Chain A
């Protein structure tokens, strides 16, 4: 039960911002939104997470809509090394620490 919907694939020009959308219309008030990425044949890598406020770190920015039903991961200046599958995950709260991965978005950064 992934609880999120993402486009299957996207392209982005190198140096431009990559904006990856995610719908999570059934999110509960105490559930966080997490983003991970998986570069080919490696383990998934944590990027960022948030509850309701926008968040920024050295890798990316996370924009969560006011109703929390969708979010956007922004890679401000995409590089070829950002080519990966990006997963948006809604974290189950209270009952444990499960991370359920959906199908993700395959981002290709084009030179």
Chain B
């Protein structure tokens, strides 16, 4: 298995533009997580899905952020409109069960100018 795949690896966009980050979890995994990492705040859990259903989105910073998981093999994190303070590395992770380890993707480095 290729592991958790995120795209794009790098994204540079102008303030006000819509940004969509994509994640393909490991096949057979039933939970998916989106994290954001910055120097100031470290790794923050934004939202997680279980069996494609959003379970906890309390970490989503504001209404500009939205996440979807239309099927077991694909998830998106959208920011609209983007702002410079959204600049960060966004990680996606997936797990197979309740107490198994999470596997992380390589992240998307987002820069909003």
Contact = CB atoms under 8 A, between A and B. Distances in A.
Interface of A: 32, 34, 41-46, 49, 87, 91, 93, 96-104
Contact of B31 (A91, A97, A104): A97
Given A41-B89, A49-B101, A101-B42, 5 more contacts: A46-B101, A99-B93, A101-B35, A101-B45, A102-B42
B25 interface: no
28 contacts: A41-B89, A42-B106, A43-B4, A43-B91, A43-B93, A43-B104, A43-B105, A44-B43, A44-B102, A44-B104, A46-B102, A49-B99, A49-B101, A93-B98, A93-B99, A96-B50, A96-B55, A97-B31, A97-B48, A97-B50, A97-B98, A98-B33, A98-B45, A98-B48, A99-B33, A99-B45, A101-B42, A103-B42
Nearest to B58: A98
Contacts of B35: 101
B45 A100 contact: yes
Interface residues of B, number: 24
Contacts of A102: 42
Nearest to B4: A43
